[in-house]
Amino acid sequence: MARKFFVGGNWKCNGTAEEVKKIVGTLNDAQVPPQDVVEVVVSPPFVFLPLVKSTLRPDFHVAAQNCWVKKGGAFTGEVSAEMLVNLGIPWVILGHSERRQLLGESNEFVGDKTAYALSQGLKVIACVGETLEQREAGATLDVVAAQTKAIAERISNWADVVIAYEPVWAIGTGKVATPAQAQEVHFELRKWLHANTSPEVAATTRIIYGGSVNGGNCKELAAKPDVDGFLVGGASLKPEFIDIIKSAEVKKSA
């Protein structure tokens, strides 16, 4: 069963309005494979969402980088799923390791957010991944399984979920997981989904890799059977993001 290649660009907390316009211009001018080959989603900071949504080419989509865990109200500083839906934002990234680590988001909280966002009609890029300490302790699979379980316990429909495997030690470090390391975890995650959700969910849910992906390493990673795309940080702010989008071609010819 074919899983459409997915390339997300997580801009994190970067950019001025001028820089954002420039990135959008570069994306709009780029020659990339068609939408039936690759799904492209860029995720600017909240304040730039309307600008990006209104100026970005129509075959690319936008994602927020977070949203609140329940209906909006007296939650100062938060942005609700309802607001994103109201603005026509189709996607949201949840459970990024930077939020898990710096803001103390627990597996349960990320699971609750995922369930709520889906209930409001958003599609979710749900991030999982182990720290270097956890990897060295041999706990990688336990960690990503526990993170995925907290989501699986709270949702029944995986059609609008993409799992992003982002090993914390590979994020922003230039230390990319080897294709074999990524493949191993993606394979195990799919196996976990098979055993704990359904064979159909396991076969159809896209599992994308994130952590120091760039124009130079993307093709080798994309060639692995269980790597269904990427969530790109630093390189998504640069023209090489186009090369990463084009790595979808590797899959097509596989």
Catalytic residue numbers read 96, 166
Least distance in angstroms from the C-beta of 156 to ligand 13P: 26
Question: Cα(110)–Cα(225) distance, rounded to whole angstroms?
Answer: 27
Tell me, residue by residue from 151 to 180, as one string, x for binding to ligand 13P by CB under 6 A and - for no binding.
Answer: ---------------x----xx--------
**Dist CA 211 CA 8 (whole Å):** 12
What separation in angstroms does the CA of 8 have from each of 62, 103, 142, 152, 208?
Answer: 9, 22, 25, 22, 9
Q: Which is nearer to ligand 13P, 52 or 202 (CB)?
A: 52
Q: Nearest residue to ligand 13P, using CB?
A: 233
CA distance 41 to 27: 11
Contact region with ligand 13P (CB under 6 A), list: 46-54, 136-144, 192-200, 229-237: 229-237
Stretch that binds ligand 13P, among 67-75, 147-155, 215-223, 230-238 (CB under 6 A): 230-238
Select 80 or 97, whichever has its Cβ closest to ligand 13P.
97
Spatial separation of the C-alpha atoms in residues 63 and 67, rounded to whole Å: 10
- Cα 75 to Cα 69, 70, 82, 119, distances in angstroms: 10, 10, 13, 19
Judging by DSSP bridges, how do beta strands 5-10 and 229-232 pair with one another? parallel
Contacting residue, 56, 150, 155, 213, with ligand 13P by CB under 6 A: 213
Which residues make up the interface to ligand 13P (CB under 6 A)? 10, 96, 166, 171-172, 210-213, 231-235
